[in-house]
Amino acid sequence: MNSPVIVIGGGLAGCEAAWILAKKRICVELFEMRPKKMTPAHSTGMLAELVCSNSLKGTDPFTAHGLLKAEMEIMDSLVMKAALSARVPAGKALAVDRESFAAFITDAISSNPFITVNRSEIESVPQDTNCIIATGPLTSDALADDISNITGSGRMFFHDAIAPIIDADSIDMKKAFFGSRWSDDEGDYINCPFNEAQYNLFIDELIKADRVSLHTFEDTKYFEGCLPVEVIAERGSQSLRFGPMRPVGIKNPGTGKRPYAVVQLRKETLKGDAFNMVGFQTRLSYPEQDRVFRLIPGLADAVFLRYGSIHRNTFIDSPRMLEKDLSLRSHPNIIIAGQLTGVEGYMESACSGIIAGMSMAAKISGMEFIPPPPQTATGSLINYITDPAVINFQPMNINYGIIPSPDVPKKDKKSTIHEIALNNIFGWVKH
């Protein structure tokens, strides 16, 4: 076709889709409304800006998250290239310098001769052309309403929260220390250790702290994988000690003992001049964050470069609306990608963008598109979001529970899943 493919949304999924199409010498017009119109969570106009954590989760190939990354590399993922280029130390996790990461992708997309970047908002779906919608969880109300209208199905949403970022120079290293779990080395994380009395005081103040106006978030639904820290605390006084504040595997070099609880801080930038509060996404009001989080040992004089916040994430009822090639059942020329489909997580979103790009390329060439087998991490995600048998659909991270389990001894299960998945992805890409 002479007209370019329209890709709406310059996040991870949209950029991956545009990248894949451009590799196949298919012209793309990528629409991104920022910086002309910002969202409640973004702060720049760069493509692929990360708005929540700077961690892309684990890299161990024998975990579901690591397997997905390995498959994405085989599929020539632009996001993986950017992540490895902008990586910051974070133990076994793949964490990135946000600015370097977004700059890498912005440059790659903007300099590609097959991609034109259009900085304007699309308020309605262009129904008469080939289009990929990858506007993410912060899809504008106008476009989200139009998607609902053309599909005849109401959109759904849940609420997501962001953790604060702290100026490294404001952390009291006389009370905090560097270290990683199960390691005697200095490690990549700053640890803020609690004794029992400090922990109990912190929990009490956290639970009673003021939050963002309740009327704004009536009937609030949270994604279980990213609960606000105060919501976890309300589930029991010890819940944080078995969650984000678990001290297992950490030894305080000052005492030689394991602390009662710990808050870990992870590098936000390659320079190490900013740190993210791991697992501390929150909906506390800004003044209360300033008050309560200063009770954390080592953070009494903390300078908050960004406070935590909460925003609404929009997604569609994909099992009822999408075909296996991610096209709308009601409009085969329109493909949906990213978190709008109900895949949850940075890499899951990016991976769906790769599949969307490949699917659209097949559609343009007149070929049938068959997604990767469900025995792969990629295929299992696509299968989950397009399976009509899935009832009460909710966003999902990649996990072993949605990948078919091979009939092998338990000790061999992960390595067998890994081997089967990579063999299948290699074969699928080659085919």
Q: What would the DSSP string read from start to end of 289-333? A: HHHHGGGSTT-TT--EEE--EEEEEEE--HHHHB-TTSBBSS-TT
pLDDT band at 213 (very low <50, low <70, confident <90, very high): low
Place of tokens 């299968």: 383
Express each pLDDT in 342-396 by its tens digit. 998 999 999 999 999 999 999 999 999 999 999 999 999 999 999 999 887 888 8
Share of the chain above pLDDT 70, in %: 96
Query: What global pTM score does this model have?
Result: 0.80
CA distance 122 to 134: 12
Q: What percent of the chain has pLDDT over 90?
A: 78
> Is residue 198's pLDDT more than 70?
yes
φ/ψ region of 101 (left if φ > 0, alpha if ψ in -120 to 50, else beta) reads alpha
Q: Is the pLDDT reported for residue 214 higher than 60?
A: no
Instruction: Name every residue whose Cβ is closer than 8 Å to that of residue 77 and which is 6 or more positions away in sequence.
Output: 16, 350, 351, 354
**pLDDT score for 162:** 86
- Lookup: tokens for 311: 């925003």
Q: What distances in angstroms separate CA 350 from CA 61, 283, 323, one per listed residue?
A: 18, 26, 19
Q: Please give the radius of gyration of the chain, using alpha carbons only, rounded to the nearest integer.
A: 22
Query: Is 10 in a helix, a strand, or coil?
Result: coil
d(CA 331, CA 318) in angstroms, rounded, equals 14
227-250 pLDDT tens trace: 899 999 999 999 999 999 999 999
Q: What is the pLDDT of residue 2?
A: 65
H-helix or E-strand spanning residue 103: helix 98-110
pLDDT tens-digit map of 41-54 = 888 999 999 988 89
How far is it, in rounded angstroms, from Cα 19 to Cα 172?
Answer: 44
